[in-house]
Amino acid sequence: MFAHQLFRVPRFYRGLATHANHMPSQQLPAVLHLKTGQSFTGKSFGAPRSVFGETVFSTSITSYTESMTDPSYRGQILVFTTPLIGNYGVPRNTAPVNSQDVGVVLESESIQCAGVVVADVAERFSHYSAVESLASWCARSGVPGITGVDTRAITRLLRDQGTTLGRLAVGADSALPSPKSEEFWDPTTENLVAQVSTKTPYELNSTGDVKIAVLDFGAKANILRSLVRRGAAVTVLPWDYDFNTIRDRFDGLFLSNGPGDPNHCAPAAAHLRRTLAEWTKPVFGICMGHQVIGMAAGLDAYRMTFGNRGHNQPVLALASSGSIRAGRVYVTSQNHQYALRLQDPFPAGWEPFFINCNDSSVEGIKSTTESGRRVWGVQFHPESAGGPLDTIEMFTDFLAECRAMKLHLGSETNDVMGAKEEMPLLAREKPQRVAVAA
């Protein structure tokens, strides 16, 4: 009884939280400079170095570790609108490679964003799976952070003027004037997808009953996890791999998320255009994969003002397919700066699938029944991690279509392990990750 009452005293159980290391009492000064002329002064945490990047904001309330390891944030200075970040620490980022997992707990092996901006970084963290603090993780990963700034003001600026190039200046650099306009680095001028995509094909869950090829534009680990946990044998391919040379070995094709400008992925769209014209098996794309499908179908991709990043984006289903019902609003997790342009008429054989309830941007497309294809693309993340699971069954729908098609064709696909010279696979016990180190 005494112990029960004791643990109800807030001062006692807050004292059990772990102190964050790499948070010295005299933190280095830090300044966030925006190319549009505004500067925000605070204190640094994490790595004591300065970086350039594209300044974006996320409205996610939780899952800062998943956001920071999402390859779609490559080259970006990530502003969290939630005031307190780091309160539950960082887990050990290792998991088995088997039919239930893919080698990591988070979305890739390491932090992908260039820097982090928070109003108040937690100096204590508490969670049963935490092994280190946010500050320690950033310091070990070479990623700088700034705390003590008004993230509400920064978010309003980015919302009103659009995503803005920035520089996070730490230590002695913080006393220097803001860089000149031409000195800011724009990560979207580079092919970020090529930086984060796997360089060599590898396989997961080789005993799965349905074989899925994944074009890796910067795949979140939970996409691969969502496939293998539903019994798929997954072969992950580099972003520009010509799937047409091996397509008959697979029951379906999946196109992943990824960072940056989709126009850098024109070679992948060209390969996919041939696939869609000659191959009738199911195809599913998420985020960047959705945009590549749209480009292959004849749609244009454009840059949004500030994009959609967060776990609370409502989308309206315009058509029914599998578990999705037309007319229903689904709450989704998103992270993107680009979108497909809505046009009338839509390309022949295609129709809008989802539309964003806030800004009316295209959130999904699908092939029409008359086209004879089985293709779906969504701008949001059905697998979330973190976020709502309203649309998670889209993975089940996709694999059900792949199994039905396989049964209909009445023949097994060839074993990818029988063509090592054409498509070498990495050792299954330690596969190359889906993203390179930041």
Digit-coded pLDDT (tens) for 288-327: 999 999 999 999 999 999 999 999 999 999 999 999 999 9
**Domain range list for the chain:** 2-189, 192-418
Residue 383 is a catalytic residue: yes
Angle between the N-to-C axes of helices 288-297 and 266-278, in degrees from 0 to 180, rounded to the nearest 10? 60
Which pLDDT belongs to residue 342?
94
Q: Which CATH superfamily is domain 192-418 in?
A: Class I glutamine amidotransferase (GATase) domain (3.40.50.880)
pLDDT tens digits, 232-264: 999 999 999 999 999 999 999 999 999 999 999
Q: Is the pLDDT of residue 426 over 80?
A: no
Q: What is the band of 22 on the pLDDT scale with cuts at 50, 70, 90?
A: low
Q: What is the band of 26 on the pLDDT scale with cuts at 50, 70, 90?
A: low
Q: What is the band of 87 on the pLDDT scale with cuts at 50, 70, 90?
A: very high
CATH class as words, domain 2-189: alpha beta
Higher local confidence (pLDDT), 7 or 150: 150
Which pLDDT belongs to residue 20?
58
Which pLDDT belongs to residue 25?
46
| % pLDDT > 70, the chain | 88
Given 33, 287, 290, 401, the catalytic residue? 287
Q: Is the pLDDT of residue 435 over 50?
A: no
Which pLDDT belongs to residue 387?
87
Which pLDDT belongs to residue 425?
41
Which pLDDT belongs to residue 286?
98
Averaged over 111-133, what is the pLDDT?
A: 97
Q: What is the band of 385 on the pLDDT scale with cuts at 50, 70, 90?
A: confident
Which pLDDT belongs to residue 287?
98
Given 54, 383, 401, 402, the catalytic residue? 383
Which pLDDT belongs to residue 424?
42
Which pLDDT belongs to residue 18?
73
Which pLDDT belongs to residue 243?
98
Q: Is the pLDDT of residue 2 over 60?
A: no
Q: Is the pLDDT of residue 366 over 60?
A: yes
Q: What is the band of 16 on the pLDDT scale with cuts at 50, 70, 90?
A: low
Which pLDDT belongs to residue 163?
95
Residue 33 is a catalytic residue: no
Averaged over 193-215, what is the pLDDT?
A: 98
Which pLDDT belongs to residue 386?
81
Residue 381 is a catalytic residue: yes
Averaged over 2-20, what is the pLDDT?
A: 51
**Mean pLDDT across the chain, nearest whole number?**
91
Given 271, 290, 311, 381, the catalytic residue? 381
| % pLDDT > 90, the chain | 86
Span of 98-107, 332-341, 417-426 with lowest mean pLDDT: 417-426
